[in-house]
Amino acid sequence: MTVYDIEAQSIDGPARKLEEFRGKVLLIVNVASRCAFTGQYAGLEALYQRWKDRGLVILGFPCNQFGKQEPGDEAAIKSFCSLKYNVTFPMFRKVEVNGADTHPLYQLLKSEKPGTLGTTSIKWNFTKFLVDASGNVLRRYGPSTGAGRIEKDISSLLATPQAAG
């Protein structure tokens, strides 16, 4: 099984097959609106704007499992992301990333790239997974790792942007 075999509900409702992202570099993030790391939305959106035309797609998966920091419904989450951070990258419905109801995507991501000392549990909001254009899960980043520190890994997977002239 690869990420391309998985389906997830978009924040607007319809199911999306992750197959549609084949050939793209993916940064998959479990997000929350009321977290100390929520400000990372700004860096993620900036990263997306810089690299989307070269093949980067950031996928946001709201999660309410950590301190109940994503209590709103999908409409509230979408509104918050749009109004506060102008998020334009694809967002999905709330998912569970740990426990018996873990979304299949997170089952796969955690099994492919365990955390520190081999633990599979997601520790907090804004844990990030980098997936290459062939669907290989390459890296797992902790919640405190901001977009700026991930950009060099992304740029190595994508063509270098042409200098403005």
Element (H, E) at 101: none
Annotation says 35 is catalytic? yes
**The one-letter amino acid at 57:** V
Q: What residues contact residue 124 under an 8 Å CB cut-off, 6+ apart?
A: 35, 37, 66, 143
132, two tokens: 């290459």
Element (H, E) at 40: helix 40-51
Report yes or no: 139 and 114 within 8 Å, Cβ to Cβ: no
CA angle 9, 20, 2 (to 5 degrees): 85
Residue in 18, 28, 29, 35 annotated catalytic:
35
Query: Which amino acids are annotated catalytic?
Result: 35
